[in-house]
Chains A and B, each alone.
Chain A
Amino acid sequence: MRHSKTPLYILVLILLISGISLTWQRHHNFQVPWLPGEQQQVWSVEAMVEFNGTGEPALVSLALPDAQTGKELISEFTASPGYGLAFAHKDGVRRAEWSVRQASGAQVLYYRAEFVSDADLSVKQTAPLLERSPLLTGSGPQITVARELLAEARQRSADAATLSRELVREFNQQGEAAALLKQGASREQWLVALLSEAGVPARIVEALELEDGRRRSQLSKYLQVFSDDEYLLIDPYAGLPVSEQSLLLWEYRSEPVLDVIGGRYSRVSFSVLEQKLPVRDIINQRRDHSSGLRDFSIHLLPLSEQALFKGILLIPIGVLVVCLLRILIGIKTAGTFMPVLIAIAFIQTSLITGLIGFVLIVGVGLLIRGYLSQLNLLLVARISTVIISVIILIAVLAVLSYQLGWTEGLKISFFPMIILSWTIERMSILWEEEGGREVLTQVGGSLFTAVITYALMMNHYVQHLTFNFLGLQLVIMALVLLLGTYTGYRLFELHRFYALVKRK
Chain B
Amino acid sequence: MIALWWRRWLSLKSQGVLGMNRRNHHYISRYNDRALYPTVDNKLLTKQLALEFGLTTPELIGVVDNQHDVRSLAELLAKHSAFCIKPAKGSGGKGILVITDSRLSDNNSLEFCKSSGEWLSLAALQRHVSNILAGLFSLGGATDVAMVESLLRPESSLENYSFQGVPDIRVIVFRGIPVMAMIRLACSASHGKANLHQGAIGVGLDIHSGRAINAVQNDDVIDVHPDTGVDLMSLSVPHWDRLLELAMACQEISGLGYLGVDLVIDQHAGPTLLELNARPGLSIQIANGAGLIPRLKAIELINKPELMSRSSKLDFARAHF
Contact = CB atoms under 8 A, between A and B. Distances in A.
Nearest to B131: A379
Nearest to B14: A504
A80 interface: no
A434 B198 contact: yes
Interface stretch (B22-30, B157-165, B245-253): B22-30
Contact of B21 (A2, A379, A486, A498): A486
B219 A487 contact: no
Interface stretch (B43-51, B122-130, B236-244, B268-276): B122-130
Given A494-B9, A494-B12, A501-B8, A378 B221 contact: no
B12 A489 contact: yes
A433 interface: yes
B119 interface: no
Contacts of B5: 491, 494
Q: Which of under 10, 10 to 19, 20 to 34, or 35 or more describes the interface residues of A?
A: 20 to 34
A148 interface: no
B136 A429 contact: yes
A379 B136 contact: yes
A390 B143 CA distance: 25
Contacts of B62: none
Interface in A253-277: none
Contact of B20 (A3, A380, A493, A501): A493
B8 A498 contact: yes
A217 interface: no
A1 B286 CA distance: 29
Interface in A453-489: 484-489
Contacts, number: 86
Nearest to A381: B134
A490 B197 CA distance: 18
A502 B216 CA distance: 13
B20 A330 contact: yes
A500 to B, nearest CB: 6
A433 B30 contact: no
Nearest to A483: B21
Interface in B1-48: 5, 8-9, 11-15, 17, 19-22, 25-26, 30-31
Contact of A379 (B94, B135, B257): B135
Interface residues of B, number: 40
B285 interface: yes
A329 to B, nearest CB: 11
Contact of B9 (A489, A499, A504): A489
Contacts of A486: 21, 25
Nearest to A330: B20
A433 B22 contact: no
A497 B26 contact: no
Contact of A497 (B30, B197, B221, B286): B286
Interface string A407-444: 00000000000000000000001000110000000000
B291 interface: yes
Contact of B19 (A434, A487, A498): A487
A487 B134 CA distance: 36
A503 interface: yes
Contact of A3 (B8, B30, B123): B30
A501 B11 contact: yes
Nearest to A429: B136
B220 interface: yes
A500 B19 contact: no
Contacts of A499: 216, 219-221, 286, 289
Contact of A503 (B25, B94, B135, B289): B289
Contacts of A2: 30
A1 B20 contact: no
Contacts of B216: 499
A487 B11 contact: no
B22 to A, nearest CB: 4
A433 B87 CA distance: 14
A139 interface: no
A500 B12 contact: yes
Contacts of A124: none
The CB with the most chain B CB atoms within 10 A, among A434, A485, A494, A502, is that of A494
Contacts of A498: 8, 219
Contacts of A1: 30-31, 257
Contact of A490 (B21, B126, B136, B285): B21
A497 B67 contact: no
Given A379-B136, A434-B198, A498-B219, A327 B21 contact: yes
B231 to A, nearest CB: 19
The CB with the most chain B CB atoms within 10 A, among A327, A489, A498, A502, is that of A489
A500 B282 CA distance: 12
Contacts of B31: 1
B282 to A, nearest CB: 8
A426 B21 CA distance: 25
B123 A500 contact: no
Contacts of B30: 1-3
A344 B67 CA distance: 39
B283 to A, nearest CB: 8
Contact of B127 (A3, A376, A485): A376
A498 B11 CA distance: 10
A327 B22 CA distance: 11
Contact of A487 (B9, B12, B25, B131): B25
Contacts of A376: 123, 126-127, 130
Interface string A1-13: 1110000000000
Contact of A494 (B8, B22, B67, B130): B8
Nearest to B289: A503
Contacts of A3: 30
A330 B257 CA distance: 26
Nearest to B218: A499
The CB with the most chain B CB atoms within 10 A, among A496, A497, A501, A504, is that of A497
Interface string B118-152: 00000100110011001111000000000000000
Interface in A365-388: 376, 378-380
B144 to A, nearest CB: 10
A497 B289 contact: no
A497 B285 contact: yes
A380 B134 contact: yes
A379 B130 contact: yes
Contact of B134 (A330, A378, A434, A485): A378
A429 B25 CA distance: 30
12 contacts: A327-B21, A330-B20, A376-B123, A379-B136, A433-B94, A496-B219, A497-B12, A499-B219, A499-B221, A500-B289, A503-B221, A504-B11
In the A-B complex, list the 4 residue pairs whose CB atoms are closest, starting with the nearest: A379-B134, A487-B22, A489-B19, A494-B8
Given A498-B8, A500-B12, A500-B290, 18 more contacts: A330-B20, A376-B130, A429-B137, A434-B198, A484-B25, A486-B21, A489-B9, A489-B12, A494-B9, A494-B12, A497-B286, A500-B15, A500-B289, A501-B8, A501-B11, A501-B12, A503-B221, A503-B289
